[in-house]
Amino acid sequence: MGQLFLAINPIALKLGPFEIRWYALCIVTGVVVAVWLAMKEAPRKKIKPDDILDFILIAFPVSIIGARLYYVLFDFGAYRQNPAEIFAIWHGGLAIYGGLIAGAATLFIFSYYKMIAPLDFLDIAVPGVLVAQAMGRWGNFFNQEAFGKAVDSLDYLPSFIKNQMYIDNSYRTPTFLYESSWNLIGFILVMSLRHRLKGLKSGDIAAFYLVWYGIGRFVIEGMRTDSLMLGPIRVSQALSLVLVAAGIILVLVNHKMSKYFLNKQ
């Protein structure tokens, strides 16, 4: 049976030889919202909003490069025969973990030179990162990528999602939607509770992100059919476990150290 539905055109706008893709619009929109959220929160941590702008001007291109390099390195066989495709990020192929690693490294270096506490900076960034990831996954939707195994029906979804998930003569598990929803829930939790919970310490919001995103990504990655592999291991699942462990350790160390110093006084 042939394709039943016409897929949404991944090109949102074409101006002569220039194309603007939905994929790029989703990423850029997510970054704009993330920057706005961080600038609103920065004064609470005694960080200048202008520092957020200075940071993103450096971190955004570095993160895009990191996301692409990560993807290409773990799928190099697909690019060996056609190296020009390495630069074709408009075709998809940005690995969020590569972007996060590059962005985090940039944040620590930037914090050092600006004399900003990096954990405070991370806490400020978390809500924006979550909402940017939630929006960015819709770029995968428009590109018809980051999906799971074939399923019989997607009748529980709106028609425009259901139709777009009809790929290679089958409905596909919309893992992009699961991850986007998981990140959105995490964003709502952080925004609802970060100023209400007593006893939160610098770095606790960052630790929540590591655990929350790590758990969600581990589960959802197991549903995907396009995972980057290192032998029999799904790379993103392995890194997800590292994130969860790091988040738990950060909370334990953060609160144990605080109790230790209080007892010493």
Report how far residue 35's alpha carbon sits from residue 173's, in angstroms, rounded to the nearest whole number. Answer: 31
197 occurs within a structural domain: yes
pLDDT confidence bin for 258, thresholds 50/70/90: low
Report how far residue 167's alpha carbon sits from residue 176's, in angstroms, rounded to the nearest whole number. Answer: 14
pLDDT one-digit tens code per residue, 175-206: 999 999 999 999 999 999 999 998 899 999 99
100 occurs within a structural domain: no
* Percent of all residues in the chain with a pLDDT value above 90, rounded to a whole number: 78
74 occurs within a structural domain: no
CA atoms within 13 A on the CB side of 81: 2
Count structural domains, the chain: 1
Question: Which residues constitute the domain of residue 241?
Answer: 11-47+116-263
The DSSP result for 1-44, as a single string, is ----SPPPPSEEEEETTEEEEHHHHHHHHHHHHHHHHHHHHGGG
Q: Range with the lowest mean pLDDT among 30-34, 165-169, 257-261?
A: 257-261
99 occurs within a structural domain: no
pLDDT one-digit tens code per residue, 85-101: 888 776 667 889 999 99
Residue 262 has pLDDT above 80, yes or no: no
Report how far residue 27's alpha carbon sits from residue 141's, in angstroms, rounded to the nearest whole number. Answer: 12
Query: Tell me, what's the pLDDT at 75?
Result: 81
The conformational region for residue 147 under phi > 0 = left, psi -120 to 50 = alpha, else beta, is beta
Mean pLDDT confidence for 243-259? 86
Residue 114 has pLDDT above 80, yes or no: yes
Report how far residue 242's alpha carbon sits from residue 210's, in angstroms, rounded to the nearest whole number. Answer: 9
160 occurs within a structural domain: yes
172 is in an annotated binding site: no
pLDDT confidence bin for 80, thresholds 50/70/90: confident
| Amino acid symbol at 60 | F
Query: Tell me, what's the pLDDT at 260?
Result: 45
CA-to-CA separations, 160 to 5, 13, 150, 179, in angstroms, rounded: 10, 19, 17, 18
